[in-house]
Structure 1
Amino acid sequence: MISAASPPGHRLVLTLLRAAVPLCLAMIAGMVGSLVVTSVLGQHDTVTLAAFAVVTAVLNPASAAVQGALRGLGPFVAPFRDDPAAAVPVIRDARWLSLAAGALGAVAVVCVPLLATVTGVPDEVVAEMGLLPWFLAGYVLIFASTGGASTILVALGRNRNVLWPTLTFGVALGGLTALLVPSLGLTGVGIAWLVGGVTSAGVAVFNVRRAVGRPVGQSRPRPREIVKLARVSLPLAATVLVKFAVLGVVTFAAGTTNTRDTAAHAVLTTLTGLIMMVSLSIAQAAVPEIARAPDTAGARRAGRVAALLAVSGTLVVAVLLLVAGQPFIGLFTDDPAVRERVLGLLPLMLVSAAFDAAQAVRGMGLTALKRSSSSLGYFALAYGLLLVSVVPVARTWGITGLWAAMTAANALLVVLQGLGFHRHSARVGAVATA
């Protein structure tokens, strides 16, 4: 396989920034499309919005798990950046794995009405779902059929092309939702989501074809090679599920406090998501640089620069939030008591986000080294401790205690992921020469 040294010093910084900016813009485009859907449904009918929220409560972790699995493809494709056509067999193997993961996610989404009924969701909300779970299950399969196009493009250095599939999806989703929901309700959302997914997948597949210089096609599955991909991809998907599940329990624990604190927690969680887009973009951009490093020094340099950039980006956003303060938070709530609570907890949330940014880069660094199973183990430990503590912490110290606990968990992850990356990166030169 072909490898190249990571660019030293400021060249590495510029390389990571050029790669991260399109990824961050793509995340923003996807978020805007989802916000349009929520806004249109909120103005349409309260029951419709509630039904949509229940379905997406399963869709989001299912999609995130599939996406997490696809990100594990990066270190397998990155070494072929100088000869993209040679990556085609790996891309074909990835499609088989992603379709398997997508099928599981689609089944989970289809089962939402049954799960909602069992868990006591009101009958009118379940009935309102209609065909939406089936449309969204189709979307998950279509998304999986691209075989991790975004990861492939980043690994091959075609970062600008990552924006267009997501932008296409966001425009199609937002425009069709506004057009169809007034007459079709949630069925209109389902149609918009599915059409947006098909259009986005078409753009993604076209971009991959241009990147490798030939049609990718499909071949018979190669079980041994697919297993190699799965050993990196599946632990990464499991890590995403662990984080989603534990943070869901944290939200539940916040809901046991009081209405004001529950609302404040929701706003703080939304702000955290906005902040994390910066660090996640840089973390993904760093994967090819770490994977292509010929020696330990190169891998550690790429990981160190990426971590500094991610934390710096988080701190910049933190300063903007602190300066904007109340006017910006007012976009999320018009309740003065909730705004006051959010402002009081904002510094703690920002510290938690900074730790989260650093651990995310180290975690993706382990993925680049094909050691995502180690990252899963660290997550299981840190978030396992968080899981068992959230209920008593919420009862004793409220959401202040919850955010302190999340900060401690993220700080522990920084240490564990950092030590893990240092240990496994020591073998980069040995593996390359073996």
Structure 2
Amino acid sequence: MTRRRGPWWALVATAGPLYVTMIASSAAALVDTALLGHYATASLAAFSVTIAVFNPVMSMMQGAERGVLPFVAAHKDDPEALLPVVRNAMWLGYAVGALGALVVMGVLTFAAARIGTADAAVQIVCVSLSNVMYTAAVAVGQAVARTVAVAARDHEVAAVRRIVAVGAVLALGAAAFFGIVLVGLRHQVVSVFSSDHVVLAGVMALLPLLLASVATDALQAVSGFGLVGLRVTRPSLTWTLLWFGLLGVVAVPVAESGGLRALWSALVVANALQVVSKLASFRKHSALCAAAEPLPASATA
């Protein structure tokens, strides 16, 4: 009889390759940021506005694809049932990507660009550093969704909650590791992206808020992926629309009145509110795993 793997090993074994793949796919944007930062601050600022449009579109497409993770995990031993799931996910990605290309813009970067050229450059460097660290949480979250889906199928409430707890620890651990490296090598790391002393000083000043943002973002991502694993997607959508919607409304006036520090502080608050809301929703809906009937495809918050 084979011994069942614990959640630690299962999550690490799945998240590791995912993280490497995701970092490799985003390497081009990091290189572009570094090259433009050493070419001219104005060019880096202009690039930040372009990325403000491109990144949300890609995030919407990736989010649509991640939504099918629990369905893929549920049919991992049934290739014939898996094929239509993958095919439908492909068309879903196309549809969401086309819609996102028409209506989406990164509000925070747009707000930073309104302050000034240097602030827009600081913003894109901070976003680039944040993305490298946050990608680890996304990789862990995808592993959480897959593993939770299997445990939920077997109606194991304790296992479902333990998987998300382990995922949260792993995501925070990864964020802490990258944060320590970034703080210890801050001058060397930041200078890779720009030689402008104003930009360098601006990024250094935002490092504490950047790290707080990554930590809270990691927690909300893992709890959101836990809900995805339960096939309960409406709570995540509700809380994201509520808290990030409010952030989007106040982003420009906050940035204009308080600068980038106020803007990143608002982001930390929005992330923290998402953590509390999504964890509460996860605890509520994970209790349904004990029911004999399969979990619903969606539910209210």
TM-score (norm 2): 0.84
- Residue 13 of structure 1 and its aligned partner are, at CA, apart by 1.1
The answer as to 2:219 corresponding to 1:361 is no
Question: Which is greater in Rg?
Answer: 1
Distance verdict in 2 for CA 1:391–1:311, change over 3 Å: same
Corresponding residue for 1:403? 264
- Residue 292 of structure 1 and its aligned partner are, at CA, apart by 1.1
The answer as to 2:61 corresponding to 1:96 is no
Corresponding residue for 1:274? 132
What is the aligned-residue RMSD (CA, Å)? Answer: 3.1
- Residue 262 of structure 1 and its aligned partner are, at CA, apart by 2.2
8 Å Cα contact 1:16/1:282 also seen in 2: yes
Q: Which runs of 5+ in 1 are unaligned?
A: 44-48, 112-240
Corresponding residue for 2:97? 105
- Residue 381 of structure 1 and its aligned partner are, at CA, apart by 1.1
Distance verdict in 2 for CA 1:331–1:431, change over 3 Å: farther
Helix, strand or coil: the match of 2:213?
Answer: helix
The answer as to 2:201 corresponding to 1:340 is yes
| Of 91-100 and 421-430, the range deviating more from structure 2 | 91-100
Distance verdict in 2 for CA 1:361–1:331, change over 3 Å: same
Number of residue equivalences: 287
**Residue identity in the other structure for 1:30:** S
Percent of aligned pairs with the same amino acid: 36
Per-residue CA distance 1:198-248 (angstroms, 9 max, x = gap): xxxxxxxxxxxxxxxxxxxxxxxxxxxxxxxxxxxxxxxxxxx9xx74xx1
Corresponding residue for 2:168? 307
Corresponding residue for 2:299? none
Corresponding residue for 1:286? 144
Helix, strand or coil: the match of 2:59?
Answer: helix
Corresponding residue for 1:373? 234
Corresponding residue for 1:261? 119
Corresponding residue for 2:57? 62
- Residue 260 of structure 1 and its aligned partner are, at CA, apart by 2.5
Distance verdict in 2 for CA 1:433–1:378, change over 3 Å: closer
Distance verdict in 2 for CA 1:80–1:55, change over 3 Å: same
Helix, strand or coil: the match of 2:243?
Answer: helix
TM-score (norm 1): 0.60
Q: Which has the higher contact order (CA 8 A, sep 6+)?
A: 2
Distance in 2, matches of 1:30 and 1:98, equals 18
Per-residue CA distance 1:244-271 (angstroms, 9 max, x = gap): 74xx111111122233222211111111
Correspondence list, 1:3-18, <5 A: 7=5, 11-18=6-13
**Residue identity in the other structure for 2:252:** V
Distance in 1, matches of 2:184 and 2:226, equals 32
- Residue 395 of structure 1 and its aligned partner are, at CA, apart by 2.1
Q: Which runs of 5+ in 2 are unaligned?
A: 39-43, 296-301
- Residue 388 of structure 1 and its aligned partner are, at CA, apart by 1.9
**Residue identity in the other structure for 1:92:** P
Distance verdict in 2 for CA 1:425–1:87, change over 3 Å: farther
